[in-house]
Structure 1
Amino acid sequence: MDIKFRDYIDADYNDFHEMVRSLYSNDLEGQPMNGTKVTSTINEAKKNPQKVRIIIFLNNNEIVGYSILVYYWSNEFGGNMLFIDELYVKEDSRSKGIAAYFFTSLEKMDNIVALQLEANTSNRRVLDYYMKLGFEAAGNTHLIKMKDSNTSS
């Protein structure tokens, strides 16, 4: 195995879009995904790489996964947080240590104080995996209020 991580480039579009589609086809509890959202994420990452990064996972120079990283400041934690918005490894590349290696590389970053991610509570396998890597449930509950798209601000 020759695992590498690099930033998204335009030539990755089809592979990236297909992996996002695959992730969301298995995540029936999340928000519906569409091409407009994927394109908006790509554009935001290009415009504000200090805020959003799309990382492409390579094994022997073949695309095998991706992650979307979002940086933000937390007063509570006293520094920059790195939110792992999405992480996906293609099915035939799973259980080979790729995600664990990715998390190890993230932990070496010196400009963040903590990593954060979310997982559906119904996916025990993923929850157990993240806990094995040292993640733990935070004391706070994650709440979201969607902005009504039919009203203007």
Structure 2
Amino acid sequence: MKTSHRKASLMDAEELTNLSMLLYQEIQSRKDRAENRIVATIRFYEENPNMGAVLMIENPETVIGYAIVFRFWSDEYGGLMLGMDELFIRREFRGRFVASQFIHALINAEKGDPCFAGMELEAHPGNMVAAGFFENAGFARNNNQLYLHLVKHRP
């Protein structure tokens, strides 16, 4: 399936709100989340484009998904890493290699930067579908554990 991606803008806010709510309905830990912060996320990345972006994934007819990507420097891996906070593909487009093509397009675009070291993905612990997808896309599971200390608690 031929797809492309572009940076989202505030004009995409309604579509992104709908897509992100579909994602949150699928993720058990977010089912009780009443507040959607995608507009604040778009604004942040518009004001700080060097830190990342909200990306719309499209085919010629429609928007089929979105992703939130960010960059950070890793001393451990010796360069810039691309991370993904969220990735969502509409159900009717899943199983058509849309997500894997998108991820490989991102990696190939970043390879032009001599500081680029790799990409990091995460999934919720019980999400075996995501784990299988990541492994099939060429990602290896690492042994690190993620810990958070949130300063601002937002429901």
Scaled by the length of structure 2, the TM-score of the pair is 0.88
Structure 1 equivalent of residue 70 of structure 2: 70
Q: Aligned pair in 2 of structure 1 residues 72, 11: CA closer, same or farther (>3 Å)?
A: same
Structure 1 equivalent of residue 107 of structure 2: 107
Structure 1 equivalent of residue 59 of structure 2: 59
Does the CA-based 8 Å contact 2:56-2:66 persist in structure 1? Answer: yes
Structure 2 equivalent of residue 85 of structure 1: 85
Does the CA-based 8 Å contact 1:21-1:33 persist in structure 2? Answer: no
Does the CA-based 8 Å contact 1:54-1:66 persist in structure 2? Answer: yes
Query: How far apart are the structure 1 equivalents of 2:152 and 2:133?
Result: 35
Q: CA deviation at 1:96?
A: 1.0
Q: Deviations over 1:105-141 (max 9, x none)?
A: 1221223211111111211111111111111221211
Give yes or no for the alignment of 1:118 onto 2:119. no
Please, what is the CA RMSD of the aligned residues?
A: 1.8
Flag structure 2 segments of 5+ consecutive residues without an equivalent.
none
Give yes or no for the alignment of 1:21 onto 2:21. yes
Q: CA deviation at 1:148?
A: 4.8
Query: How far apart are the structure 2 equivalents of 1:29 and 1:132?
Result: 25
Flag structure 1 segments of 5+ consecutive residues without an equivalent.
none
Structure 1 equivalent of residue 139 of structure 2: 135
Scaled by the length of structure 1, the TM-score of the pair is 0.89
Does the CA-based 8 Å contact 2:10-2:39 persist in structure 1? Answer: no
Q: CA deviation at 1:149?
A: 4.5
Structure 2 equivalent of residue 95 of structure 1: 95
Q: Percent identity?
A: 23
Q: Deviations over 1:35-91 (max 9, x none)?
A: 3x2222111111011102011001124100000001111111110010111100001
Query: How far apart are the structure 2 equivalents of 1:32 and 1:63?
Result: 24
